[in-house]
Amino acid sequence: MTPRAGPPPPRAIVDAVLPVVDCGRFAVKRVVGEPLVVDAHCFGDGHDKLRAVLRWRAEGDAQWQEVEMAPLGNDEWQAAFTPPSVGRYAYAVTAWVDPFVSWRADFERRVELDDLRVALAVGAELAAAAARRARGTDRKALTAWAVRLRHDAGADAADAAALRAVALDLAGAELAARYPDRRTTAASSPEYPLVVDRERAGFSAWYELFPRSAGAPGRHGTLADVQARLPAIAAMGFDVVYLPPIHPIGRVNRKGRNNALEAEPGDVGSPWAIGAEEGGHKDVLPALGTLDDVRALVAAATALGIDIALDIAFQCAPDHPYVAEHPQWFRARPDGSIQYAENPPKKYQDIYPFDFESADWAALWIELKSVLDHWIAHGVRVFRVDNPHTKAFAFWEWAIAEVRKADPDVIFLAEAFTRPKVMHRLAKLGFSQSYTYFTWRHTRQELTDYFSELAHGPGSDYFRPNVWPNTPDILDVQLHDATRAAFAIRLVLAATLAPNYGIYGPAFELLENRPRSPGSEEYLDSEKYQLRAWDLERDESLRDLITTVNAIRKAHAAFRDLRSLAFLGTDNDQLIAWCKRAPAGDDTVLVVVNLDPHNRQSGWVDVDPERLGIDPAHVWQLHDLLSGRTFAWQGRRGFVILDPAEAPAHVCAVQQALHSERDFDREH
């Protein structure tokens, strides 16, 4: 750069602003009420002092808000702000070499009287300059202080202590700090994007059910039947009810029971084979009801504090109206027939995927986005998206952004059990939540490694995990012919490790554990292909445990936070333990789970009392929220015994430290 007339370049440097996703290409995510803590490396040449501010504003606002950053040492600075509402924001860091702060720091080191007088005169000029930038009473106070500094600088009788008292006056320094000179010395980082979602994007419990199985045995269920079930689901503590596709189901190549290639008369087919002569993605299967029933269901759910999540599966049955009206939207095979979906060795003859690279791609994108708009207009605010990784990334980035311009409270869950980098890309593109590999993580080491990555890895600022112990597609081998204890273990793990979790409801409640064949992840008599009659009042139902666990989650703020997750050491590989602490520090939980569903396990748990916010020198309490029992621990280790036949886990609130075991005995 060739020097030229005008203000010199800034002496301050702003470097390494965090968090940032891909250098600002994608947005960091938070929910309403959740602070965004920003760190930055800010420094300059020489020994002058810096100041730095975190700047933020909502999209569309002209005015920036500013928060003073605090120095942490080693040229690292930190500040935070809490976004007040749902939407998009921008944030940046600005730093400058501050003449007044530099002068004050320099003055503190001076001791000779003549040096102090000269320095006082310099301070008077800086105070006067700050006064010229100030208004009202602040201007008057700064002007008076400048006069005092200038007077004392020339007063022969003043001693060093008196001069120091005037110069280092804290009230004056605070006033001057309000009106810094940033005209020529400020350096700023780029503006970085932030997306703020409603709270449910960050904390939710999902319950999946097939509406067609919600009716009485032997009868095709309806949306009205689902509506009748909502109070019971709400009583269990779920706040999202997820419905597989509710659209007309194709008849061409319809699958039979247990995924049979040939359907028998009366077979209902797969809901994911969307479209028939009755309509397509904007229509309701007549056996389920009408669009009026959808609106009534959404209204009833809203009254109970529940969101209805609809499945968005952008694919078609061979007899979907799109196939006849827009054949150019599908990929043709050499013989002219349309290519059906495959995921070898699985074949889906009843499904045609869209061709997102067709010559008519723009019209296809617009139509698919209109499907989302259609259901939003009917009150739906949550979508579970089927296999988004098999559709164009650019489509999702565009469609989700367009939806959120008008409806920023809409939540998208990505059902993408695929490669990690693909899953993370979808999260960056705008999906609010993401399915995970939890289903296949069984051992203590697997769970510890995976959830440590989710909580503290590079994706923690944009990838929100939603963990499921089962889905209609996945009966994991750990649940094959499994005991009640095995289901209870997976429930506690899912619900307490992650802020967002879900279950394929009736099957999980009733301990459905029969695979279609040994080693298969498909259920025997899968509800994907037939009606099922669920007796939810059976004695072996997990309903009571599910209700208790969901109530615990809602009562303790620590479960809403993933970033505070810290695993604790145990001397038994069958025991896994962790703690979480709410950001405000007013709620701490400690969970220990027996991973062995068949045998009682015992061992020592290593704890970090300081992380738990307790005094290790005192006895402290663990109140087990599952059993109601209270335990007294002291120091850095605690002993547990867990019998899966009785209770496979301790889910404990960490309570105040006691002075002695005698205090504990007296209270209990």
Q: What is the pLDDT of residues 81-136, one digit of tens each?
A: 999 999 999 999 999 999 999 999 989 888 888 888 888 899 999 999 999 999 99
Interatomic CA distance for residues 140 and 533, integer angstroms:
80
Out of 48, 415, 461, 527, the active site residue is 415
Residue 191 lies in a domain: no
Average pLDDT over residues 217-224: 96
Indicate whether 156 belongs to any domain: yes
Residues 238 and 332 in one domain: yes
Q: What is the CATH number of the domain that holds 113?
A: 1.20.58
> In 480-490, which positions are buried (b, 16+ CB within 10 angstroms) versus exposed (e)?
eebebbbbbbb
Q: For residue 192, tell me if it sits in a domain.
A: no
237 and 128 share a domain? no
Grade residue 615 by pLDDT with cuts at 50, 70 and 90. Answer: confident
Q: Is the pLDDT of residue 663 over 60?
A: no
Task: Classify each residue of 82-102 as buried b or exposed e, where b means 16 or more C-beta atoms within 10 Å of its C-beta.
Answer: ebeebbbbbbbbbbbbbbbbb
91 & 106 share domain: no
Q: Are 38 and 79 in contact (CB under 8 A)?
A: yes
Residues 226 and 90 placed together within one structural domain of the fold = no
Does the annotation mark 415 as catalytic? yes
Strand bridging mode 433-434 / 466-467: unpaired
**391/422 Cα distance (integer angstroms):** 11
The reply to whether 599 and 488 lie within a common domain is no
| 255 shares its domain with 398 | yes
Tell whether omega for the bond before 345 is within 30 degrees of 0, i.e. cis.
yes
* Domain co-membership, 422 together with 494: yes
Rounded to an integer, the average pLDDT of 457-478 is 97
Which of 21-35, 400-414, 611-625 has the weakest average pLDDT? 611-625
pTM: 0.94
Q: Are residues 607 and 486 in the same domain?
A: no
CATH number for the domain that contains residue 36: 2.60.40.10
pLDDT class for 157, splitting at 50, 70, 90? low
Omega of the bond leading into 19 within 30 degrees of 0 (cis): yes
Q: What is the CATH number of the domain that holds 275?
A: 3.20.20.80
Are residue 501 and residue 612 in the same domain, yes or no? no
From 386, 461, 509, 596, active-site residue: 386
The CATH number given to whatever domain includes residue 606 is: 2.60.40.1180
Together in a domain, 203 and 175: no
Whether 386 is catalytic is yes
Do 237 and 249 sit in the same domain of this protein?
Answer: yes
- Comparing 60-74, 332-346, 496-510, 634-648, the range with the smallest average pLDDT is 332-346
Number of domains in the chain: 4
What pLDDT digit, counting tens, does each position of 525-576 carry?
Answer: 999 999 999 999 999 999 999 999 999 999 999 999 999 999 999 999 999 9
Cα gap 298→287, rounded to integer Å: 18
Q: How far apart are CA 261 and CA 529, in angstroms?
A: 11
pLDDT, tens digit, for every residue of 470-493?
A: 999 999 999 999 999 999 999 999
Q: What is the pLDDT of residue 664?
A: 46
Q: Is residue 185 part of a domain?
A: no
Longest Cα–Cα distance in the chain: 110
Quick one: pLDDT band at residue 1, thresholds 50, 70, 90?
low
User: Whole domain around residue 267: which residue ranges?
Assistant: 198-558
Instruction: Out of 558, 592, 619, pick the residue that ends a domain.
Output: 558
So what's the pLDDT on residue 668? 44
User: Which residue, of 499, 527, 558, is where some domain finishes?
Assistant: 558
pLDDT higher than threshold 80 for residue 288: yes
The verdict on 416 and 304 lying in the same domain is yes
pLDDT in tens, 180-210: 988 767 889 999 999 999 999 999 999 999 9
